[in-house]
A and B are shown apart, each in its own frame.
Chain A
Amino acid sequence: MKEYINSGSKDTRSGFGAALLILGRNNPDVVALCADLTGSLKMDEFAKTFPDRFFQVGIAEANMMGIAAGLTIGGKIPFTGTFANFSTARVYDQVRQSIAYANKNVKICASHAGLTLGEDGATHQSLEDIGLMKMLPNMTVICPCDYNQTRAATLAVANHLGPVYLRFGRPKWPNFTDPDQTFEIGKALICNEGTDVTLFATGHMVWNAIQAGKILETNGISAEIINIATIKPLDTAAVIRSVQKTGCAVTVEEHMLQGGMGDCIAQTLVRNFPAPVEMVGVNNQFGGSGKPEELLKAYHLDVPDIVEAALAAIRRKGGR
């Protein structure tokens, strides 16, 4: 199996903040808005360096989404920053009408997504945001896996014309992808080639899928590992091609099983190449308080859960 080395754990939100600063320097049309979470979103350097292009909106996310939509009229490229829950569920109608339906060039940048937010608990752990955003026509949904990739994805979305939902997280997390990568929107990234099962993972869970792949390898199972960094538009060709080779799949995400990335994979396969799919995610439950690692264990998103799901998928394949 291809070896991945953690060059030093970093939070993905800092990758976003670093890229936003670069964008500020390189593109005078880039503006940023934040709803009283500048520090949490790592937008403070941008705010300090470009005070005229940074708008503190206070704790008023609905207004932030509307102002961002308005800023595009005149050619600005607004990046909004708040937690994933407040970027989606709290402002769904504003995003739906003023951004998605109007097809405005707003980049909705959402931190603290998923269970790995940790102690703040269910009120702040967004496990529905991928589903909410992927259902909106015109919306692109991106969920990078580590600091380097979040940085690259942030740079990439500025050059994409149209609304984008960019999802990242709070905790320090292994940073293992190429620091000089160019992020290609809509492309599934093959982390490891294999033949027995495909592990489709997104966000923080890509690292966990790689760890699961290593364990599977010691058991003589060859796992193909694919990073679904863009959930919408989904790289359906890559999904189908891989499962045509491996014959079964596991999806892994820090999100509700009902409506997440796994649903997109399952739908693609059902319509094009029916094959056994096991899904690792949160099953119809709200989150809770705890350390990120404790929560991943408690909600069955840990490495052993992925290994078990892979074995189950392979068993089902054998029975066909």
Chain B
Amino acid sequence: MLTTEDLEKISCQVRRDIIRMVSGAESGHVGGALGAADFLVALYFKIMEPNVSRFTPDGIDEDLFFLSNGHLSAGWYSVLARYGYFDSSELASFRKLNSRLQGHPSTSEGLPGIRMCSGSLGQGLSVAIGAALSKKLNRDEHLVYCLLGDGELQEGQNWEAMMFAAAHKVDNLIAVIDCNGKQIEGPVDEVISLGNLSAKLEAFGWNVSEMYGNDMEDVVSSLKKAQWYTRQEQPVMIIMNTHMGYGVDFMLDQHQWHGVPPTRDQAAAALRQIPETLGDY
């Protein structure tokens, strides 16, 4: 049984991986990935029951995860590698020619752990709903999880999907919105405010709760609580408050770190703040 400290150690290493991957590629997105690292670690290492030894695209009889905001790829790849889907040495190929670790997640390269392409925003929730319906048809009791970005909610397809999930009582799905309040051009509130998000989600017929995504204990307990809310004829949504760039002081809450790679010096400064816990790749 992994303790909270064990999980925190893993997130620490994942954060190092993120910085090293993006810096190594001289390209990529660090801010969002750093913010969502704790959630991804908790989900894979504590909450889901993924069948890591025998990856199948169909994912029958196991929990599934879909990353809608595909630009968090560095964080997801690191968690997949650290969980055992592939060797962590492959993280060094991130965003490079002929890599299975494409800039945004892709199924065409056959990377274990990935079942859907994402990158163009707003599509993941629909896909997760489809996968959840497939599980229902297959009488597969496992759950489907999906991570969305808050800025991504500006895409209308999300709201089509939310309407559908409530109307069709898709209750074997837990969607999580990573609310770091930032998008490329600035604070979400300034670009296009989401307004009262929790009221909107509730009005769309979802079971809505909140958690603090950079507190491992809260993430684990909130996800466990959300599991209890499933199978009650209502889709389940968690508003996850996070900090963009969490773990590196000069990146914290800075929207400029959405998609800009750190320079070599900045990467070194960042890594000095994040201890190596599981060994660098």
Residues of A at the B interface (CB closer than 8 Å) are 31, 52-53, 55, 57-58, 60, 62-76, 78, 93-94, 96-98, 101-103
8 Å CB contact of A97 from B118, B134, B160, B164: B118
Residue of A nearest to B134 (CB): A74
8 Å CB contact of A74 from B124, B131, B161, B167: B131
Q: Which 8 pairs show the lowest CB-CB distances between chains A and B?
A: A70-B130, A66-B126, A74-B134, A63-B160, A60-B160, A67-B130, A70-B127, A70-B131
In the assembly, what is the distance between CA of A102 and CA of B58, in Å? Answer: 13
Chain A positions within 8 Å of B135 at CB level: 74
Does B186 sit at the interface, judged by CB under 8 A?
A: no
Chain B positions within 8 Å of A75 at CB level: 58, 60, 134, 138
Question: Which range holds the interface residue count of chain B?
Answer: 35 or more
The answer to whether B59 touches A74 (Cβ under 8 A) is yes
The answer to whether B116 touches A69 (Cβ under 8 A) is yes
The answer to whether B161 touches A97 (Cβ under 8 A) is no
* A75-B58, A97-B118, A98-B117 known; A69-B127 Cβ under 8 A: yes
The answer to whether B161 touches A63 (Cβ under 8 A) is yes
The answer to whether A58 touches B163 (Cβ under 8 A) is yes
27 A-B pairs with C-beta separation under 8 A: A55-B168, A58-B163, A60-B160, A60-B164, A62-B126, A62-B156, A62-B160, A63-B129, A63-B157, A63-B161, A66-B161, A67-B127, A67-B164, A69-B116, A70-B133, A73-B64, A73-B127, A74-B58, A74-B60, A74-B131, A74-B134, A74-B137, A97-B119, A98-B116, A98-B127, A101-B117, A102-B116
Does B128 sit at the interface, judged by CB under 8 A?
A: yes
Chain A positions within 8 Å of B132 at CB level: 70
Query: Whole-angstrom distance from the CB of B259 to the nearest CB of chain A?
Result: 18
Of A52, A63, A103, most buried by chain B (CB within 10 Å of CB) is: A63
* A58-B164, A63-B161 known; A101-B108 Cβ under 8 A: yes
In the assembly, what is the distance between CA of A286 and CA of B226, in Å? Answer: 51
Residues of B at the A interface (CB closer than 8 Å) are 57-60, 64, 66, 106-108, 115-120, 122-135, 137-138, 140, 156-157, 160-161, 163-164, 167-168
8 Å CB contact of A71 from B66, B106, B123, B130: B130
Of A60, A71, A73, most buried by chain B (CB within 10 Å of CB) is: A73
Residue of B nearest to A137 (CB): B108
Query: Whole-angstrom distance from the CB of B107 to the nearest CB of chain A?
Result: 5
The answer to whether A73 touches B134 (Cβ under 8 A) is yes
Chain B positions within 8 Å of A64 at CB level: 126
Chain B positions within 8 Å of A101 at CB level: 106-108, 117
Residue of B nearest to A31 (CB): B137
In the assembly, what is the distance between CA of A287 and CA of B126, in Å? Answer: 32
Chain A positions within 8 Å of B129 at CB level: 63, 66-67, 70
The answer to whether B107 touches A73 (Cβ under 8 A) is no
Chain B positions within 8 Å of A53 at CB level: 137
* A52-B137, A66-B157 known; A60-B131 Cβ under 8 A: no
Residue of B nearest to A67 (CB): B130
The answer to whether A97 touches B117 (Cβ under 8 A) is yes
Chain B positions within 8 Å of A57 at CB level: 160, 164
In the assembly, what is the distance between CA of A74 and CA of B57, in Å? Answer: 8
Chain B positions within 8 Å of A67 at CB level: 126-127, 129-130, 133, 161, 164
The answer to whether A102 touches B107 (Cβ under 8 A) is yes
Chain A positions within 8 Å of B157 at CB level: 60, 62-63, 66, 94
In the assembly, what is the distance between CA of A64 and CA of B106, in Å? Answer: 21
In the assembly, what is the distance between CA of A69 and CA of B123, in Å? Answer: 10
Residue of A nearest to B156 (CB): A62
Query: Whole-angstrom distance from the CB of B57 to the nearest CB of chain A?
Result: 7
Chain A positions within 8 Å of B118 at CB level: 97
Chain B positions within 8 Å of A60 at CB level: 157, 160, 163-164
Residue of A nearest to B136 (CB): A52
In the assembly, what is the distance between CA of A67 and CA of B132, in Å? Answer: 9
Chain A positions within 8 Å of B127 at CB level: 66-67, 69-70, 73, 98
Residue of B nearest to A28 (CB): B137
Query: Whole-angstrom distance from the CB of B50 to the nearest CB of chain A?
Result: 14
In the assembly, what is the distance between CA of A289 and CA of B106, in Å? Answer: 43
* A63-B126, A66-B123, A103-B107 known; A71-B163 Cβ under 8 A: no
Chain A positions within 8 Å of B58 at CB level: 73-75
Of A53, A94, A96, most buried by chain B (CB within 10 Å of CB) is: A94
Chain A positions within 8 Å of B134 at CB level: 70-76
In the assembly, what is the distance between CA of A55 and CA of B164, in Å? Answer: 10
Chain B positions within 8 Å of A76 at CB level: 134, 137
Query: Whole-angstrom distance from the CB of A211 to the nearest CB of chain B?
Result: 44
In the assembly, what is the distance between CA of A112 and CA of B125, in Å? Answer: 29
In the assembly, what is the distance between CA of A53 and CA of B138, in Å? Answer: 11
In the assembly, what is the distance between CA of A96 and CA of B104, in Å? Answer: 14
In the assembly, what is the distance between CA of A57 and CA of B133, in Å? Answer: 13
Residue of A nearest to B60 (CB): A74
* A73-B134, A102-B117 known; A65-B59 Cβ under 8 A: no
Of B66, B119, B164, B168, most buried by chain A (CB within 10 Å of CB) is: B164
In the assembly, what is the distance between CA of A123 and CA of B42, in Å? Answer: 48
In the assembly, what is the distance between CA of A53 and CA of B133, in Å? Answer: 10
Residue of A nearest to B130 (CB): A70
The answer to whether B140 touches A97 (Cβ under 8 A) is no
Residue of A nearest to B114 (CB): A102
Query: Whole-angstrom distance from the CB of B138 to the nearest CB of chain A?
Result: 5
Chain A positions within 8 Å of B125 at CB level: 66
Query: Whole-angstrom distance from the CB of B134 to the nearest CB of chain A?
Result: 3
Query: Whole-angstrom distance from the CB of B108 to the nearest CB of chain A?
Result: 7
